[in-house]
Structure formats: C-alpha cells, structure tokens
C-alpha cells in the first residue's frame, strides 16, 4: 500500500503512545480514521486534536479484550465509511514479576488485552478486507518481548510471543489464500509511551505487589522513560514498512544479537542463554 489518501484506518490504543502517532501520521496522509481506546479522556483528546485539523473520523471507547466490543467497532467502521483498508491492532498493557507470582487475574488481563485483543481484531476485520477485495494491510503490535524471554516479564512475554506467532500465521494463511492484504509485525523495544502506567486502566486492583513485581515495575519505568526512539519515530518506521509491504519491524536493531543468540540456543538444543548477555548494564539484579 503506497497511496493512503482517502483510505480508512482503524487504530486501537489510539489515545496515546504508538496509536496516537499512527493516527497523526495517517491524518497527515489524508486518511479517514476510526479511533478506539479504553481510556475515554485520552481518546477524546486525540480525536479533538485531529478534528481540529479537518480530519474525518469517528472514535469509540472499546475494551479490545471483549469480543463483542471489537465486533461493534467493526460494525461502526462499516456504517461510517463503508470499508476498512488499514488495521492497527495496537492496544497493549504491561505487568511483570516472577511468573509463578502472577495471579489468575494478572493473566486474564494481560492475555485479554495483548493477545485476545489482536485475535478479535483479526477475526472481525480480516474477513471484511477479504470481501472488499481492495488492497489492505494489517499491523499487529507485538514487542521484542515476543522474540525473547527476559526475566521478570513472563506474563508479558507470553502475550507478545502469542502475537508474533498469530501474525506470522496470518501472513502465511493470507498468502495461501492469495489475498491482497499485507501484514506487518511491529516489535518495538522500550519507547517513551505510558505503557509503564498500564495499571491506570486495569479493571481490578491486582492485589498486593511482590518484591519481584516491584523490581519489574522499577526496571520498566527506567527503560521506558530513558528510551531514545520516540513513538513518532516508530510510527514512521511502521508506515515505511507498509509502503514496502515489509513484515518485520524491529525498532531497535541492536536487540537482534540477543534474538539470534536465542535462535542459536534452539538450533543447538542447549539451555537458554541469559537474554541480557549483550546488555548486562540494564539487567535486573537479584530479587
């Protein structure tokens, strides 16, 4: 997809971070927008900003973990614009700690938003794109956490590994179908967004934090706030990949040495290496 003017983009998590920057960039390219977020105030701010620039859009408060709400979003998109050409399954949350200390509610929340949110987006919008027959594109936001298995991030890693294999399978299924739909897998490392403040949108309190959860939160706060690649940079990289019909977008290429080490471990059938082998300065010490 090289021409974006007049086409319709659906963006989840549009109230902040990558989603807001996808919306801003899409608007600058002349796209019509369907904006969704669970955080009503942030969503309204993004929508108001873009409407003031004359962008044609609708906005919907949506909890992507709920199938019925994503189905409603798809129906609203059709009612408003008749078609959807570009889908950003972008909404995401984060939490950490020793994997055995995460509660059932932790797992339900993370997997509901990060994995099932993408599943619902694919299930609701890809059939629509296939029926249209137009040139379309799907972008799924995973993470380098979907390519590695770092300590104290097990619950997040599981959700993002799920997005990676879902997206790779989607690509292969669409190729088998002969569909005119491109697919991009976005794998960012830490970027200054507010994902480290995900608890603000959690439907339950989450209970008392353990020492490992506190350590994971502290490490995430430090990494997110010190990130040198901006959400705007990531949005530009992503649109470049859409133009080039490129699947993988790894926003921090230095991380690929750690990804390669993991793959070498698998091929050699040896025990997993420390994911921080090449970045010992940012590794969390004993908890």
> Catalytic residue positions?
156
> What stretch of H or E contains 180?
none
Q: How far is residue 198's CA from residue 130's CA, in Å, rounded to a whole number?
A: 34
How far is it, in rounded angstroms, from Cα 13 to Cα 9? Answer: 13
Residue 133 CB-density burial (10 A; 0-12 exposed, 13-18 middle, 19+ buried): exposed
Residue 264 neighbours by CB distance under 10 Å: 11
271 exposure class (CB count in 10 Å sphere: 0-12, 13-18, 19+)? exposed
81 three-class SS: helix
**DSSP state, 111?**
I
């Amino acid at each position: 997809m090289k021409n974006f003017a007049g086409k319709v983009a659906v963006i989840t998590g549009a109230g902040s971070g990558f989603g807001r920057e996808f919306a801003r960039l899409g608007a600058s390219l002349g796209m019509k927008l369907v904006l969704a977020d669970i955080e009503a105030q942030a969503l309204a701010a993004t929508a108001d900003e873009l409407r003031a620039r004359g962008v044609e859009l609708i906005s919907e408060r949506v909890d992507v973990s709920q199938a019925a709400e994503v189905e409603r979003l798809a129906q609203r998109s059709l009612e408003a614009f008749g078609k959807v050409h570009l889908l950003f399954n972008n909404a995401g949350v984060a939490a950490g700690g020793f994997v055995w200390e995460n509660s059932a509610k932790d797992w339900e929340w993370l997997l509901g938003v990060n994995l099932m949110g993408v599943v619902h987006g694919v299930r609701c919008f890809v059939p629509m794109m296939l029926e249209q027959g137009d040139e379309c594109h799907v972008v799924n936001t995973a993470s380098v956490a979907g390519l590695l298995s770092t300590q104290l991030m097990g619950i997040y890693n599981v959700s993002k590994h799920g997005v990676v294999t879902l997206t790779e399978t989607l690509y292969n299924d669409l190729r088998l179908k002969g569909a005119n739909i491109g697919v991009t897998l976005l794998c960012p490392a830490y970027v200054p967004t507010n994902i480290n403040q995900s608890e603000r949108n959690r439907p339950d309190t989450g209970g008392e934090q353990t020492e490992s959860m506190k350590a994971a939160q502290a490490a995430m706060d430090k990494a997110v706030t010190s990130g040198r690649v901006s959400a705007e940079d990531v949005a530009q990289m992503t649109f470049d990949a859409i133009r080039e019909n490129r699947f993988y977008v790894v926003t921090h290429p230095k991380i690929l040495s750690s990804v390669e080490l993991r793959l070498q471990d698998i091929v050699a059938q040896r025990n997993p290496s420390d994911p921080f082998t090449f970045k010992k300065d940012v590794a969390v010490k004993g908890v």
